């Protein structure tokens, strides 16, 4: 399996940790969107596409992203679960939609994405 295309959309917000959104294509046939390039404590890394864990509104039972203050559907107040204290707890609020299941594939995707990102960032600097 090869990554045949990497499309990088740089995020232009100063010192934010989120550096870019990325779309990748496998074998010219399968597209995965919304990967992110994040500037973490140990340098750049690639986050797989994820969704926020949902909670049901106590009033209308519609699903809302965890930690919503009010229901998106009926506007009812939603009680917050206690604040997560560890990075792990915060990470658990997101669930990956698509992700590699071994380190080799993760490294491969990450190196493809980061080199495309660096190229895109360089191009941008050159044009300024």
Least distance from C-beta 89 to Zn ion, angstroms?
Answer: 25
Find the part of the chain contacting Zn ion (CB under 5 A) among 2-10, 58-66, 93-101, 105-113. Answer: 58-66
User: Within 10 Å of residue 5's Cβ, how many Cβ atoms?
Assistant: 13
Q: How far is the CB of 37 from Zn ion (least distance, A)?
A: 35
Which of 53, 60, 89, 97 binds Zn ion (CB under 5 A)? It is 60
Q: Residue 85 and residue 72: Cα distance in Å, rounded?
A: 26
Cβ-based nearer residue to Zn ion, 56 or 111: 56
Of the pair 62, 94, the CB lying nearest Zn ion is at: 62
- Return the closest-CA partner of residue 37 out of 95, 125, 92, 119: 119
* Structural tokens at position 122: 């360089």
How far apart CA 117 and CA 112 sit, in angstroms, is: 9
What is the contact surface with Zn ion in residues (CB under 5 A)? 57, 59-60, 62, 71, 73-74, 76
């Amino acid at each position: 399996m090869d990554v045949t295309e990497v499309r990088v959309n740089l995020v232009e917000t100063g010192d934010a940790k989120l550096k870019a959104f990325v779309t990748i294509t496998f074998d010219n046939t399968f597209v995965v969107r919304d990967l992110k390039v994040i500037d973490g404590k140990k340098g750049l890394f690639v986050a797989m596409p994820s969704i926020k864990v949902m909670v049901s509104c106590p009033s209308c039972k519609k699903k809302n992203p965890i930690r919503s203050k009010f229901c998106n559907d009926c506007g009812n107040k939603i009680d917050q679960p206690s604040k997560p204290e560890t990075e792990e707890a915060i990470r658990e609020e997101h669930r990956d939609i698509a992700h590699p299941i071994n380190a080799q594939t993760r490294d491969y995707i990450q190196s493809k994405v980061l080199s495309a990102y660096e190229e895109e960032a360089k191009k941008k600097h050159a044009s300024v």
